[in-house]
């Protein structure tokens, strides 16, 4: 399989899960200290992950939790974010310009900053009050969700917490790589069909909305230089559907959380108006050992990432364009 190191992926996911005692200890201390609200801060891909975490919590808890866009914060501010707030962020490089500027403003307010920063000694690592470093690709959502799960457990919203994590600890890492193997042939066929699309519309809802947002912008546009657009499944039915015809490339991400019916509604409509649609359904990827009632949590969008990684690997090969190359991003000042 292209760009697939089975043991490395298992080790990365298992290593992240093994950090849980450290995360629990830190979250418990922050919880005991108290907070007036929780803000997941990000931009681009980290903003997408923030949306996933907040949607997840909103469906299962009454914790006061919000998505905060970094650039909006340092321009507009947010008067609800106070010295008593908890701000959670993630960064690979620790140098993302907009996040750095937002964090510098947040420090003036005095809120507590918890950062998953992969680069030690970076400016964001230095600015955050609490830092956890674990540089492994594909684990950002696990990090965000582990914090969310511990907070919900502490507030009485997740009585199955211990049973859930016993299953993840034992079965998640291996289950994810098996799902990616299953998705390989689909990824190759999808890449072959769509690698020259003039425009591709990606649709999703719930925790798949963040996945769609990130995939269209951070992967197809930024890394593969393919034009695309992300649309929330509910919003697709209020405008975008009118420009779809029999040739329009449309892909729907179907997850397994509370908002699945929104994507199912689009999936039901598309055969009537489009001859070039694809449905990617995480239900098609079984993971042995994970209970059905837990699949709508972190597993659903990790499975979707398995599928999209297979697409990306083949698009990269077929289009002879290494995904690491950028025309503009971080190439000069702007």
Question: Which is nearest to 24 in space by CA: 154, 118, 142?
Answer: 154
Beta-strand pair 228-232/200-204: parallel
Query: In the structure encoding, which two tokens stand for residue 50, read together?
Result: 């923030």
> What is the Cα–Cα distance from 205 to 52, expressed in whole angstroms?
10
Kindly give the confidence (pLDDT) of every residue in the chain, 334 residues in length, as a single tens digit, with 9 standing for 90 and above: 999 999 999 999 999 999 999 999 999 999 999 999 999 999 999 999 999 999 999 999 999 999 999 999 999 999 999 999 999 999 999 999 999 999 999 999 999 999 999 999 999 999 999 999 999 988 999 999 999 999 999 999 999 999 999 999 999 999 999 999 999 999 999 999 999 999 999 999 999 999 999 999 999 999 999 999 999 999 999 999 999 999 999 999 999 999 999 999 999 999 999 999 999 999 999 999 999 999 999 999 999 999 999 999 999 999 999 999 999 999 999 9
> What is the Cα–Cα distance from 103 to 39, expressed in whole angstroms?
12
What is the pTM (predicted TM-score) of this model?
A: 0.96
- CB distance 113 to 103 below 8 Å: yes
With tokens 């364009």, the residue in question is: 321
Element (DSSP H or E) covering residue 106: helix 97-109
> What is the Cα–Cα distance from 157 to 24, expressed in whole angstroms?
16
Helix (H, G, I), strand (E, B) or coil at 34: coil
């Amino acid at each position: 399989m292209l760009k697939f190191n089975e043991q490395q992926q298992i080790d990365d996911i298992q290593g992240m899960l093994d950090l849980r005692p450290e995360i629990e200890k830190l979250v418990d201390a922050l919880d005991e200290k108290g907070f007036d609200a929780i803000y997941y801060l990000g931009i681009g891909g980290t903003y997408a992950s923030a949306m996933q975490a907040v949607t997840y919590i909103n469906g299962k808890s009454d914790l006061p939790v919000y998505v905060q866009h970094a650039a909006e914060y340092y321009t507009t501010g947010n008067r609800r974010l106070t010295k008593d707030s908890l701000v959670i962020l993630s960064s690979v490089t620790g140098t993302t310009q907009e996040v750095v500027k937002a964090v510098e403003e947040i420090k003036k307010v005095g809120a507590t900053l918890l950062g998953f920063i992969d680069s030690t000694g970076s400016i964001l690592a230095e600015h955050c009050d609490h830092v956890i470093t674990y540089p492994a690709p594909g684990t950002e959502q696990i990090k965000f969700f582990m914090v969310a799960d511990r907070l919900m457990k502490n507030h009485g919203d997740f009585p199955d917490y211990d049973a859930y994590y016993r299953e993840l600890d034992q079965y998640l890492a291996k289950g994810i790589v098996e799902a990616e193997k299953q998705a390989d042939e689909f990824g190759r066929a999808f890449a072959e069909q769509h690698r020259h699309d003039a425009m591709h519309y990606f649709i999703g809802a719930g925790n798949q909305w963040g996945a769609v947002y990130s995939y269209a912008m951070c992967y197809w546009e930024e890394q593969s230089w393919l034009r695309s657009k992300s649309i929330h499944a509910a919003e697709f039915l209020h405008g975008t559907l009118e420009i779809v015809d029999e040739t329009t490339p449309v892909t729907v991400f179907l997850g397994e959380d509370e908002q699945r019916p929104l994507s199912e509604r689009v999936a039901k409509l598309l055969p009537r108006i489009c001859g070039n649609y694809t449905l990617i359904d995480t239900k098609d990827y079984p993971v042995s050992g994970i209970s059905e009632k837990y699949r709508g949590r972190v597993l659903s969008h990790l499975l979707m990432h398995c599928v999209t990684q297979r697409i990306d690997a083949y698009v990269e090969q077929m289009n002879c364009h290494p995904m690491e190359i950028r025309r503009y991003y971080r190439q000069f000042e702007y």
